[in-house]
Structure 1
Amino acid sequence: MSTPLRIGYVPEHFSTPLHFAKKHYGLNAELIPFPSGTGHMVTAIRSKEIDVAIGLTEGWIAGLGKVDNPSPQNDGGYRLVGTYVETPLCWAISTGVNRPEIQSVDSLKRSKVGVSRIGSGSYVMSYVLADERNWLLPTAGVGTENESASPFSDFVVLNTFENLRKAVNDDTADFFMWEHFTSKKYYDNGEIRRVGEIYTPWSSWKIVASTGLVEDARVDDLLEKLNKGIKHFNENQDEAVEYISTQLDYSEEDAREWLKTVKFPEATQGVDLKVVENTVDLLQKAGVLAKGKGFEPEAMIAKRR
């Protein structure tokens, strides 16, 4: 038998088809959870700790878009090989329960934003929020000559969702952004307060493989088994709800509500170039990426749709 793939994933409700692929369809893999998210997986796949990973579109594309002087020797560490979720992600915007000065999204301009890591989805989306709200100065943004013109006073790196929740209650950060249903439990129990929300302007989850493995038969097998896991997920929603509500720290009610909002592809193989181009364009506009730097969209993709 071939060596199992080491697959990085975020242990949230979106991981359910991956769980089914392993449980029911013999996926030969070691599933390695990364609760701190996509930014951590970018680091892990580059350091060869994992072979493949499933994470947020914006995190993967920002990672490859920031590579200085791309070359065969400086290859960014991974490539996009598959599409895991077709629908956008709803990012909830949260603050502490005793922060009366924060009553609306507009009150967050020039405030301290908590992020899991620099380059993570929570970091990237803060710039997308700023762009949507017209908080960006023309020269602001990562990779430009005037990063000090940031729409926020500070980016506070906090690594985990738990740390983010604590930070907005002890004034270490003013707000943070995290997926809606993962955040909702903590609105319901009164730990944090919801300020607003923002949707990604792109399909939300992609699959990447280490650059040395993009042609590996095990990656093709993973994509096939994921297709079966997704089909099982779609046809066995009660089983999905049971798994999410007993193993992943969500209520049954929230799990069922989430099922109404998410669409996985029938075929995970490949990535649409237009999705990557549109994401790069928006990330450049938001100041996350700089034009003329990093990999071009076509070069980020190893398997095209």
Structure 2
Amino acid sequence: MKKVRIIGVPEHFNLPWHLAIEEGAFEQRGIDLEWTDIPEGTGRMCQMLRENETDIALILTEGIVKDITAGNPSKIVQTFVQTPLKWGIHVNGSSNLNSISDLQNKKVAISRFGSGSHLMAFVNAQNQGWETNNLSFEIIHNVDGAVNALQEGTADYFMWEHFMTKPLVDKGIFKRVGDCPTPWPCFVVAATDKFLNENGSIIRHILEVINTYTEEFKIIPSIDRTIANTFEQQLEDVQEWLKITQWSQQQLSAKELSKVQDTLQSLNLIDEKLPTDKILN
């Protein structure tokens, strides 16, 4: 049995992996897939790939592309979620900030530098026509840290996945003032160069298994109820999320990668674009 370490955020996007692990689908291929949740998100996962604390990561596209251009010895092996991520833009529930335009020159809560919450703050600012050099940040590590920062006033707004933060909006802890979708497929499967060089056949088996599960995920009986119960979501929110979410069984295209790199470069988040074969496996 080959042990393989894999990490991802504790969110509904990754439920196909948990189902496949629970049903022994990887074990049937001789793979002991060891999953670890990383609530801190993409910035922490990039660090773990760099430091060989994991073999594979389910990670935000813009985050891993930026980190590979900065020297992360990893490659994208496949797109995982083809559709954009719907980033909710949140303020404290009792805040007098009521629209995205109110947030100009306000401080952003981010899980860490290089995370999706960090990078998408630049994308949102660019969308609004703001001067991105004026953005300022407060590192909060995770959603609990964001709740504290917004309540205590050490940060003004926080961007995180729309549906996973919906329960906090429903409770009045957060107020959502808008959304900012990613302009590209949101999640990819990334693996370290070391793992890919040593385990080319293993990664193919892993992708074959998960692709079977994602192809059939939406037609699993009562999958909406399973997600709602597992992630403490309202059933109607899960049903809306399922409608707008499409998993992928293909590699990220060169055109999609170019859009990510062009955007990051225009925001001065990367110095130069890398050739496609330096990022895609």
> Smaller-chain TM-score range?
over 0.9
Q: Could you tell which deviates more after superposition, 245-254 or 203-212? A: 245-254
Q: Distance in 2 between matches of 1:172 and 1:247?
A: 32
Which stretches in structure 1 are left out of the alignment for 5+ residues?
68-75, 141-149
Is 1:120 aligned to 2:115, yes or no?
yes
1:184 & 1:290 partners in 2: Cα distance? Answer: 36
Q: Quick one: which of 181, 193, 204 aligns to 2:175?
A: 193
Counterpart for residue 218 of structure 2: 234
Partner of 2:29: none
* Structure 2 Cα separation of the partners of residues 135 and 296 of structure 1: 30
1:200-235: CA deviations, max 9, x gaps?
000111000011112412211110111111133122
The partner residue of 2:271 within 269, 276, 290 is 290
Say whether 1:157 aligns with 2:139. Answer: yes
Shift of 1:132: 0.9
Partner of 1:300: 279
- Tell me the SS of whatever aligns to 1:82: strand
After TM superposition, the structure 1 = structure 2 runs for residues 173-212 of structure 1, keeping only pairs within 5 Å, are 173-212=155-194
The sequence identity of aligned pairs, in percent, is 30
Question: Partner residue of 1:72?
Answer: none
Q: Aligned match of 1:272 in 253, 270, 275?
A: 253
Distance 2:216 2:83 in 1: 18
Aligned partner of residue 44 in structure 1, secondary structure: helix
Deviations 1:256-304 (A, max 9, x none): 2211110012x24x32111111100011112222236xx44431111xx
The answer to whether structure 1 residue 218 and structure 2 residue 234 are counterparts is: no
Q: Deviations over 1:227-258 (max 9, x none)?
A: 111133122051x3233222223232322221
**Residues in 2 aligned to 1:16 and 1:22: alpha-carbon distance in whole angstroms:** 10
Q: CA deviation at 1:77?
A: 2.3
Distance 2:94 2:211 in 1: 45
Q: Which amino acid aligns with 2:41?
A: G
Contact 1:45 1:78 in 2 (8 A): yes
Q: Work out whether residues 51 and 210 of structure 1, in 8 Å CA contact, stay in contact via their aligned partners in 2.
A: yes
Q: Given that residues 16 and 233 in structure 1 are in contact (C-alpha distance below 8 angstroms), is that contact kept between their aligned partners in structure 2?
A: no
Amino acid at match of 2:85: L
Partner SS, residue 229 of structure 2: helix
TM-score by length of 1: 0.85
The answer to whether the 8 A contact 2:93-2:169 is kept is no
CA RMSD, Structure 1 to Structure 2 (Å)? 1.6
Contact (CA 8 Å) 2:218, 2:242: kept in 1 or not?
Answer: no
Please, what TM-score do these two structures have when normalized by structure 2? 0.92
